[in-house]
């Protein structure tokens, strides 16, 4: 049994999010929540929210079976690039620099052992 949760248009770059999700790929859900909760990285807060949602989706999908978070593991985690907002920043001598504000889409799949 498995369930999926997705968070789209997260306001951090995909590269920074990948640093966080590489820590939780393939491990127990309880351990993953602990790692994300105490991580100093800013995207860890969004990743923890999506992980909790995926666990909740699995619990709601199969209400008859008594699944515990200790019986679950992170089966699949991936980040896709979202749209990039292009902004201009004033530069010396009348020029302008382009600032790219990147976003990402996070997907987490949890499954029972």
Who contacts 71 (Cβ-Cβ below 8 Å, separation ≥6)?
A: 112, 113
Pairwise CA distance, residues 85 & 104, whole Å: 12
Give percent above pLDDT 90 in the chain. Answer: 88
* Residue carrying the six token digits 């393939």: 26
Whole-prediction pTM value?
A: 0.91
Buried b (16+ CB within 10 A) or exposed e, 74-93: bbebebeebeeeeeeeeeee
Number of domains in the chain: 1
β-bridge partners, 28: 73
Task: Judge whether residue 65 has pLDDT over 80.
Answer: no
Query: 32 — phi, psi (to 5°)?
Result: -65, -40
User: pLDDT tens digits for 71-110?
Assistant: 899 999 999 999 999 999 999 999 999 999 999 999 999 9
CATH number at residue 108: 3.90.470.10
The domain in which residue 60 lies consists of: 2-112
């Amino acid at each position: 049994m498995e369930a999926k949760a997705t968070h789209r248009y997260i306001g951090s770059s995909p590269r920074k999010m990948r640093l966080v999700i590489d820590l939780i790929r393939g491990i127990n859900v309880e351990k993953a929540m602990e790692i994300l909760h105490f991580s100093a990285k800013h995207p860890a807060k969004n990743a923890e929210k999506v992980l909790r949602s995926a666990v909740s989706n699995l619990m709601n999908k199969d209400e008859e079976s008594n699944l515990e978070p200790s019986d679950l593991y992170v089966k699949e985690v991936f980040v896709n690039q979202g749209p990039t907002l292009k902004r201009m920043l004033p530069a010396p001598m009348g020029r302008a620099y382009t600032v790219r504000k990147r976003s990402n889409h996070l997907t987490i799949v949890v499954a029972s052992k």
